[in-house]
Amino acid sequence: MLTLTAETAARIIGGQLLSGPANAQIKGLTIDSREIQPGFMFVAFEGQHVDGHDYISQAVQNGATAVLVGKDNAPETPANIATIKSDDALAAIQKLAVYERDHCTGPVVAVTGSNGKTTTKEMLKSVFATLGPCLATKQNQNNELGLPLTLLRHDASHTSIVVEMGMRARGEIEELSTIAKPTTGIITNIGHSHLELLGSQEQIALAKTELLESLPEDGYAVLLSDDPWLRKLAHKTSAQIVWFGMSEDCDAWAENVSIAGNSTMFTAHVLGSSAKVTLPTLGQHNVLNALSALLAGAVNGLQLQKMAEALQQVSSVSGRLHQVPGKDDRIIIDDCYNASPSSMSASLHVLQQVAGQKNMPAAAILGDMYELGTFAEEGHRQTGALAAQMGIQHVITVGQMSRWIAEGVRKMGKTAVHEFSDTKALLEELDRILPPHSAVLVKASRGMHLEEIVRALT
């Protein structure tokens, strides 16, 4: 964060300096009193469960130079601490983030999409680190609070910024784009996530492509070639459009894809250059994520070979398609972080590959997929039918909506199916129904807590 005086910070946010030195130097900002460093401003943010005003004294003890309060009766601070009043702490943080962003140089890359945002963000972070230190979203801080807090971690050493953008309604990507002002935007795909909230896949597409409208004319839109919604709505941007996919007519494409252990290997062709890539993760969908990151780097002048080498060091995201050894000589594919029909399809294909390579029977433990709205029944049935069509020998479902997965399997015929209402019931029968020496996929929406199943299997 740029060093600001308390007086300047108050002016930027349209707040009032209540007390303390106007020339107090603010070198950083946090809403967590435990993260205070000398020279930081503590924002007494009122969340759903915690009121930051209760931690002002702790922040001061930890070295805060300034405090931003939102209450008239906020606890008093020592005379040497600048106290600023703002009626809207969130808006204040966002205004400071915009001020910071306006003083940033170098590429600012934003990524959104129905699936693959966080994985792609981690890949982008590795790719742009070849240019120099890259500031990137931590974990999934991708909303109206997390994104500005990310920007406020910027310092003079950073040569690029990568931000993830999530959304649950129309207008949210537009709001985040107004703050981040990306120069390059990636949309991984348009799926069915948040259908319950937005009502139709068209509305999801319109919400995601708000990112396109924010890009400058001299910027870049990096889009999935095979996505019909992105093809249909690409006209929304005035930026240069580049496409990634698996076919040779794309600006970035892949061939010779194979997997071994927890790695996926392929040859990447990007804007006329080629390089061999090894990803420390599984699945063709992650090949697509990698292609989008390589293409975003290439249009910003990064060298393909250096980027390919950087992707070998991408941090794996817990609970996302990670292969671990299990009990009874099983291989467990832990993908229980989240789920949608499209990500279920991708993970089932990985299961099929792993089981085939190891000459093992394939088993899938599948749970409910949330936020599908009116598509819930059809999406679950399609997943079950796909599992059966692919020859997955054992399907175990857990949850209320997953009965439709089981029905989709049964309609296709031969695959063995076991249904359970919750994880507790499944855990009691797991060892009996799951064959030893098998490859086992565990996948559901995060709220199903299938990590309990992974722990039991490993």
pLDDT for the residue numbered 132: 96
Range(s) within the chain of domains with CATH label 3.40.1390.10: 4-88
- The string of pLDDT tens digits covering residues 136-179 is 999 889 999 999 999 999 999 999 999 999 998 899 999 999 99
Q: Crossing angle, helix 89-101 and helix 6-13, to 10 degrees?
A: 110
Q: How far apart are CA 348 and CA 441, in angstroms?
A: 7
Q: Is residue 285 within 8 Å of residue 340, measured between CB atoms?
A: no
Q: Is residue 133 within 8 Å of residue 106, measured between CB atoms?
A: no
Distance of CA 227 to the CA centre of its chain: 19
Count Cβ atoms within 10 A of the Cβ of residue 348 and give its class: 0-12 exposed, 13-18 middle, 19 or more buried. Answer: buried
Range(s) within the chain of domains with CATH label 3.40.1190.10: 104-311
**Which CATH entry fits the domain spanning 322-457: 3.90.190.20, 1.20.58.1180, 3.30.360.10, 3.40.50.1170?**
3.90.190.20
pLDDT for the residue numbered 383: 97
Q: How far apart are CA 443 and CA 348, in angstroms?
A: 9
Strands 273-279 and 263-270: antiparallel
pLDDT for the residue numbered 414: 75
Strands 25-26 and 4-5: antiparallel
- The string of pLDDT tens digits covering residues 311-333 is 998 876 666 788 889 999 999 99
Question: What predicted TM-score, i.e. pTM, was given to this entire model?
Answer: 0.89
Architecture of domain 104-311: 3-Layer(aba) Sandwich (3.40)
Range(s) within the chain of domains with CATH label 3.90.190.20: 322-457
Domain 4-88: assigned CATH number: 3.40.1390.10
pLDDT for the residue numbered 357: 87
Q: Is residue 158 within 8 Å of residue 308, measured between CB atoms?
A: no
Number of Cβ within a 10 Å radius of residue 424 = 10
Query: 89 falls in which pLDDT band (50, 70, 90)?
Result: very high
